[in-house]
Structure 1
Amino acid sequence: MEPYDERLTAPRSWWFIALMVGVAMGLIMLPFGTLPMLGGLIGGSALAAVAVSSYGSARVRVVAGSLVAGDAKIPVSALGTAEVLDADEATAWRSYKADPRAFMLLRSYIPTALRVEVTDPQDPTPYVYVSTRDPKALAAALAAVRSDAS
């Protein structure tokens, strides 16, 4: 059983924008005729939808003793203190407080986040910043895995 699993899906407004990209492509192709216009509408919508879907397919999980955030898989044993970030703190940590060496799974449409120290001396990454809609639950899941391991 996984104590935490979240998909960072894109907001509905982004899907509307993807549709509008398709409409714009259709209008661009309109001078070439009806079929090119339909091709632009369908093709532009499909490409924009693929882009939105791939960006919104990031997952955050705590599974098998590891934090899996996007493509990164970090053992919980290499993680230290977790800090729940509200909207203001999350904005600060992804802008002027950010360390360029940090691993960041960041989604601008999610206002809250969790920042977790990396304690592995072999890893130059100072912390992991993960956008999440429920940072308290993610911190609790990491703490539960850490307590189970000890």
Structure 2
Amino acid sequence: MHNADRTTSTAAPSYRERLSPSLWVLVSAAVCAPMAAIVFAPLDGTIALAVGFAVGAAIVVALLATAPTIAVVDGVLRVGRARIPVSDLGTPEPLEGQAARSARGPELGRDDWHLLRGGVDGVVRVPVTDVEDPATHWVFSSRTPDRVAAMITRAQRGR
């Protein structure tokens, strides 16, 4: 069936980043393969190798597939499964180094919404200006916090 009124958006997102696990996390997950193989080694060596390979591959694929993304698309900030219009946000703050560590730790408020990933040093903190929203800030990890903050600001200006 042809629907002439259907509209599709082919515009690329203003910004998109996947917070995939670091290489060390993937290597650590792959260590599960020999452990699974050892469990099945008394039964049969071939079965043990197959199970070990399957377990290691499944864990690595699961880690990559479930990695959250950050995107600024059509005036909406998307971090993982959460979404908020950029019009409900204040001025974003890109943080790195000690400031990022403080934002992830002692400065993280109890009313702040956050998505923090180990192995990703940069952080973006954005105040929420919507009085109806229970979160006061969004705090999330990013490998390029300056670019995320610039794209949020650009989307707020409507460019």
TM-score (norm 1): 0.89
Aligned with residue 108 of structure 2, among 95, 98, 106:
98
Amino acid at match of 1:137: R
Instruction: Tell whether 2:48 aligns with 1:37.
Output: yes
- Native 8 Å contact 2:70 2:78 kept in 1: yes
Amino acid at match of 1:130: F
- Hey, what does 1:4 align to over in structure 2? 15
Instruction: Tell whether 2:85 aligns with 1:75.
Output: yes
List per-residue Cα deviations over 1:63-112 (Å, max 9, x = no partner).
01010111011000110121111121121111221123221121111101
List per-residue Cα deviations over 1:31-61 (Å, max 9, x = no partner).
2222441243023213321332134x21111
Instruction: Tell whether 2:120 aligns with 1:110.
Output: yes
Q: Which has the larger radius of gyration?
A: 2
Identity, in percent, stands at: 28
Instruction: Tell whether 2:11 aligns with 1:13.
Output: no
**Over aligned residue pairs, what C-alpha RMSD do you find?**
1.6
Structure with greater strand share of residues: 1
Amino acid at match of 2:91: T
Query: 2 CA distance for matches of 1:100 and 1:29?
Result: 46
Amino acid at match of 1:62: V
Query: 1 CA distance for matches of 2:98 and 2:62?
Result: 28
- Native 8 Å contact 1:23 1:44 kept in 2: no
Amino acid at match of 1:105: L
Local SS of the residue matching 1:80: coil
Structure with greater helix share of residues: 1
Local SS of the residue matching 1:121: coil
- Hey, what does 1:48 align to over in structure 2? 59
TM-score (norm 2): 0.85
Q: Which runs of 4+ in 1 moved over 3 A?
A: none
Any unmatched runs of 5+ in structure 1? none
Structure 1, 83-92 or 119-128: larger mean CA deviation:
83-92
Any unmatched runs of 5+ in structure 2? 1-11
Structure 1, 36-45 or 101-110: larger mean CA deviation:
36-45
- Hey, what does 1:132 align to over in structure 2? 142
Query: 2 CA distance for matches of 1:148 and 1:65?
Result: 8
